[in-house]
Amino acid sequence: MNITRRSFVKIAGAGSIAAASSHPLNLLAGDVPVIEVLNPYNRVPVSLIIDDSTCLVNMAHFGIPQFGEVFPDQYKQDWRKLPREIPDSFVREFGEWSLENGIKGKYSVVPYPACTGWVNRFIPGWTGRELKDSLDLIREVILPNWDIHPEMVSHTRVIDIKTGKPYPDATPDYMENWEWSQSKSADELAAYQAYALTILKEAGLPCEGLTTPGGYGGRNQNNLALSTLEAVRDVYGAEIPHYFRDLFTEKDRSVAPQVLHASNLDSTDPKCVVSILGCTGDWFGGWDGLVPGNVDRFITEDLESGRMVEVIESGEPAIMVCHWPGIYYNGDKVGFNILKEIKKRLDQKYDNLNWMKMSEIARYWAAKELTSVSSTRNTIILKAPFSAPGFTIKVNTSVHNPRIKNQGEEMKPLMLVKSKKNLKSNTWYSDKTESVVCFDLEKGTNELVIN
């Protein structure tokens, strides 16, 4: 999956939580505050989406010949020169570096990678112990900072979920990347996705979302969203399913997450699904590890431009997209070194970034879009279908001694900080014209007394 195989179709999201004011004013007698929901902890979310990763198998080596059978004029790469394996030694190196540097995001585990074998059973060419060790390593160094997604079942041939065998026809109609998914109902897609999710569950991996392989569902996006909601809830019971399908690289094009198909918000079982949008192409090393990337496309050496700068300055989540074969880049680690340089440059330029997993971003945006807000002069009531840590709001007035009361709890004071940069849960900052309050939003009714 890469930028040329993705559909750039924006999905309409839910409405805004509350009216925002771009010109804060001191409140007059009888006025009520105007409230704006900010980013978590008043920081810009940053993340990394890793596609085409799995246990042991280099998806490029095993996938290219299958793509080439369908489109021989388009896939002429000499796949035999590519390594068959992306070793666990690299997974450990990458995972430990990510833990040390706070890098977070999404890491795919393709369940039946390029039809080589099953991550919950065995993969021919590797021993059972090697597969077990690979899964254990993912739990150890990947799970703490990364969401795990299936990238459907094989990322190549469509699998007959009744038999577990690939369909016999190597045509676009029976490839996950192309036509098969475009005409399927939400129930048909949900059954297929649940099959993929179940393999990961049997392998002992947690999951709250999924990633589409290539063009999967690109012309069938409403059913894709509905099927993700159904499948992830059914297999894992995830409260807020999410998925990655689209990325947008055009300047000034919104890449804010889209909260879709919200329902039952006043019940004990609210529902929604969140579409997470990437903001970059794969400028690391590509899905096949054949063309090296360029760090300047993300952020230039002078720190003044690049796609990450554009998106971070807009305040929207800046979510990069890469592919595991390009991060490894045939053992030369070209993409990995680009990521290290991006991190270095971002740290040089910004002190207001917040690395987050996909599930964390999805949860915050669901709360942001779906929480209802009402207020009097002194009190703000937030009725939240979903909880969200670090929920942050701006109020167009100075506040004094704010207190928060979550449903069934005692009123507790919040701590004043000297700068917005110091905001964390249960703190607040105020000047003469406006205030920013940060707290853990709980599911149900939250009462915030601001004066």
Which percentage of the chain shows pLDDT scores above 70? 93
- Round to whole Å and give the CA distance between 254 and 239: 25
pLDDT tens, residue by residue, 246-255: 999 999 899 9
Provide the 8-state DSSP code for 157. Answer: B
User: How many CB atoms are located within 10 Å of the residue 23 CB?
Assistant: 7
CATH fold of 44-362: TIM Barrel (3.20.20)
List Cβ neighbours of 377 (8 Å cut-off, separation of 6 or more).
Answer: 27, 30, 31, 32, 33, 451
Predicted local confidence at residue 262, as pLDDT: 98
299-306: list long-range contacts, CB under 8 Å, 24+ apart: 299/342, 299/345, 299/346, 299/349, 301/345, 303/345, 303/348, 303/349
Mean pLDDT of all residues in 126-146: 98
Residue whose C-alpha is closest to residue 342's, from 357, 327, 358, 331: 327
Name which of 25-29, 264-268, 363-367 the model is least confident about: 25-29
Give domain 9-38+371-451's CATH number out of 2.60.40, 3.30.300, 3.40.50, 1.10.760. Answer: 2.60.40
Domain boundaries, the chain: 9-38+371-451, 44-362
> Distance between CA atoms of 445 and 385, rounded to whole angstroms?
9
Question: Rg for the chain (alpha carbons), in Å?
Answer: 23
Per-residue confidence (pLDDT) for residue 429, from 0 to 100: 97
> Per-residue confidence at 434, pLDDT binned at 50, 70, 90?
very high
pLDDT at 377 over 90: no
What pLDDT score does 211 carry? 98
Do 2 and 286 touch, CB atoms closer than 8 A? yes
Residue 243 has pLDDT above 60, yes or no: yes
pLDDT in tens, 185-204: 999 999 999 999 999 999 99
Whether 304 shows a pLDDT value over 70: the answer reads: yes
Average pLDDT, the chain: 93
Average pLDDT over residues 375-393: 95
Whether pLDDT at 438 is above 90 = yes
Which secondary-structure segment (H or E) carries 188? helix 186-202
Residue 12: HSE in the Cβ half-sphere, 13 Å Cα cutoff: 2
Q: What's the mean pLDDT in 161-173?
A: 97
Whether residue 12 is predicted with pLDDT greater than 50 in this model: the reply is: no
Exposed e or buried b per residue across 298-327, where buried means at least 16 C-beta atoms within 10 angstroms of its C-beta: bbeeeeeebbbbbbbebebbbbbbbbbbbb
381 vs 371: CA distance, rounded Å? 10
SS3 label, residue 314: helix
Cα 178 from Cα 171, distance rounded (Å): 9
pLDDT at 10 over 80: no
Determine the pLDDT at residue 332.
Answer: 97
Can you say how many angstroms the Cα of residue 231 is from the centroid of all Cα atoms in its chain?
17
**313 within 8 A of 352, measured Cβ to Cβ:** no
Q: Is 307 helix (H, G, I), strand (E, B) or coil?
A: helix
Q: Are the C-beta atoms of 200 and 120 separated by less than 8 Å?
A: yes
Specify whether the CB–CB gap between 319 and 312 falls below 8 A: no
User: Taking residues 22-47, what's their average pLDDT?
Assistant: 74
User: Is the per-residue pLDDT at 269 higher than 50?
Assistant: yes
- Whole-number pLDDT of residue 106: 99
- Confidence band of 5 (pLDDT split at 50, 70, 90): very low
Q: What is the pLDDT of residues 327-356, one digit of tens each?
A: 999 999 999 999 999 999 999 999 999 999
